[in-house]
């Protein structure tokens, strides 16, 4: 019995290796990396289906450029290392186009706004931000802030408020869970998701946004784009063309309206 399994397993191993090597040549299958736990952008429903804004964008782009898609789930902090290690070909995971990331990978043109906001309990006695929208560093003393590791929110915080007490999480869902549990006093996260998944629901009734929308280009980039390895100019051009077409056809708005009462991209990206 063991020997049969041994033979099957050897064939399986060989197949895994050869298919990995052959994928470059055949009818194009692009592997897409995403978190799979980031509602409403890329997440799995109980039917086992991957759904979300990012998933819709990926499918729309694939249809236009004529490729098949395979999805690979990857934890956020390993997303770029995994792309560089060839675990997948594209990142469609609400990844912001920032300068530090562009040193290692390329991005398509943006398909979604990139912005961050802090969420905290109602009735906090201190104002964390002044009327101009800048953070008051002194008022952050003694507060624990929850952030997702390797996110734009982490880079913004490290640069703007380096002395703050930061707690790093592996995913976005635990941020909300721990905010409610009182393990952190505030979290910085995507405001669209925060509103949908948390503030609009009963469990978020005691919480509110405690900062204005923050979208400094240096940390948040011009928007969220599809990540790909450097040196693939032809693929990038095809992706850019597909995204532009999606914008102009109104598809991005359609995808957004599935989850939000408003579109979440900048219409100007469709022009020219």
Partner 1 sequence: MSFDFAIIVDALPKMLMGIGLTFQLLIISAILGLTLAIGLMLMRISGKWYLSWPAQVYIYIFRGTPILVQIFIIYYGFPQLEFIRDSFLWPMFRDPFGCAIFALTLNTGAYVSEILRGGVLGVDRGILEAGSALGLSVRQKFIYLTTPIATRLALPAYGNDIISLLKSTALASTITLADMTGIARTLVAQTFAPYEIFISLAIVYMILTWILQKSLGRVERYLGRYMEK
Partner 2 sequence: MEALVGWWDDYFWGSVVVAQVFICSLVLMVIFGLIGAAAKLSNSVIAQKLANGYTIVFRGTPEILVILLLYFGSAIALTSIAQIFNPEVKFLDVPPFWAGTIAIALIVGSYATETFRGAFLGVNPGSIEAARALGMSNLQTFIYVRIPEMWRLALPAFGNHMLSLIKDTALISIIGLNETLFVAKQAIGTTGEPFIMYIVVGMIYLAFSTVITLTVMGLERYGQRHMVNVR
Nearest alpha-carbon partner for 191 in 121, 260, 107: 260
Site for partner 2 in 23-62 (CB under 8 A): 24, 36-39, 43-48
Binding residue for partner 1 (CB under 8 A) from 43, 169, 219, 255? 169
- Report what 107 binds from partner 1, partner 2, none; CB cut-off 5-8 Å by kind: none
Q: Which two tokens stand for residue 174?
A: 């635990």
Burial of 5 (0-12, 13-18, 19+ CB in 10 A): exposed
201 touches partner 1 (CB under 8 A) = no
Distances (CA, A) of 73 to 1, 80, 186, 245: 33, 13, 28, 27
Please check whether residue 90 is in contact with residue 225, taking contact to mean a CB–CB distance below 8 angstroms.
no
User: Given candidates 74, 98, 155, 215, which one binds partner 2 under the rule CB under 8 A?
Assistant: 74
Footprint on residues 3-22 left by partner 1 (CB under 8 A): none
Going by DSSP bridges, is the β-strand pair 50-51/105-107 parallel, antiparallel, or unpaired? unpaired
What mask of x and - would describe binding to partner 2 in positions 75 to 114, judged by CB under 8 A?
Answer: x--x--xx--xxx---------------------------
* Side-chain half-sphere CA neighbours of 69 within 13 A: 22
Q: Does 143 bind partner 1 (CB under 8 A)?
A: no
The window from 30-38, 116-124, 177-185, 214-222 that contacts partner 1 (CB under 8 A) reads 177-185
All residues at 6 or more sequence positions from 213 whose CB lies less than 8 Å from its CB, including other chains = 115, 116, 117, 191
The rounded distance, in Å, linking the Cα atoms of 74 and 54 is 14
Residues in region 174-233 near partner 2 by CB under 8 A: 176-177, 197, 203
Rounded to 5 degrees, what are φ and ψ at 49?
-90, 140
- How many helical (H) and strand (E) elements, i.e. helices and strands, does the chain have? 10, 13
- 39 contacts which partner out of partner 1, partner 2, none, CB within 5 to 8 A by kind? partner 2
CB of 85 to partner 2, least distance (A): 4
- Stretch touching partner 1 by CB under 8 A, among 62-70, 114-122, 178-186, 227-235: 178-186
Under the binding rule (CB under 8 A), the answer on residue 162 touching partner 1 is: no
> Binding residue for partner 1 (CB under 8 A) from 167, 196, 199, 222?
167
Which are the contacts of 112, defined by CB distance < 8 A and separation ≥ 6? 53, 57, 94, 223, 224, 252, 264, 265
**Residue 161 interacts with partner 1 (CB under 8 A): yes or no:** no
- How far is it, in rounded angstroms, from Cα 15 to Cα 37? 29
d(CA 19, CA 54): 26
Residues that bind partner 1 in the complex, under the rule CB under 8 A = 77-78, 80-81, 84-85, 104, 149-150, 167-170, 174, 177-178, 180-183
Residues that bind partner 2 in the complex, under the rule CB under 8 A = 2, 5-6, 9, 12-13, 16-17, 20-21, 24, 36-39, 43-48, 72-75, 78, 81-82, 85-87, 171-173, 176-177, 197, 203
């Amino acid at each position: 019995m063991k020997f049969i399994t041994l033979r099957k397993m050897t064939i399986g191993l060989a197949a895994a290796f050869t298919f990995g090597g052959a994928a470059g040549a055949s009818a194009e299958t692009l592997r897409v990396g995403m978190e799979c736990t980031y509602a409403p952008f890329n997440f799995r429903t109980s039917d086992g289906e991957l759904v979300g804004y990012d998933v819709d964008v990926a499918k729309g782009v694939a249809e236009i450029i004529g490729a098949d898609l395979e999805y690979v789930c990857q934890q956020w902090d390993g997303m770029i290392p995994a792309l560089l290690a060839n675990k997948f070909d594209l990142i469609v995971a609400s990844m912001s186009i920032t300068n530090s990331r562009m040193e290692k990978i390329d991005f398509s043109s943006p398909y979604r706004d990139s912005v961050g906001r802090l969420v905290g309990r109602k009735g906090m006695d201190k104002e964390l931000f002044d009327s101009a929208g800048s953070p008051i560093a002194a008022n952050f003393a003694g507060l624990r802030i929850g952030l997702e590791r390797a996110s734009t929110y982490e880079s913004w915080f490290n640069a703007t408020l380096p002395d703050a007490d930061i707690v790093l999480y592996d995913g976005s869902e635990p941020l909300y869970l721990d905010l409610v549990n009182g393990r952190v006093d505030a979290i910085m996260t995507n405001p669209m998701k925060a509103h949908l998944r948390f503030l609009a629901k009963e469990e978020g009734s005691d919480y509110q946004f405690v900062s204005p929308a923050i979208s400094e280009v240096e940390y948040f980039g011009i928007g969220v784009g599809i990540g790909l390895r450097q040196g693939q100019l032809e693929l990038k051009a095809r992706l850019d063309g597909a995204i532009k077409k999606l914008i102009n056809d109104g598809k991005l708005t359609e995808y957004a309206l599935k989850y939000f009462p408003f579109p979440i991209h900048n219409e100007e990206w469709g022009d020219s």
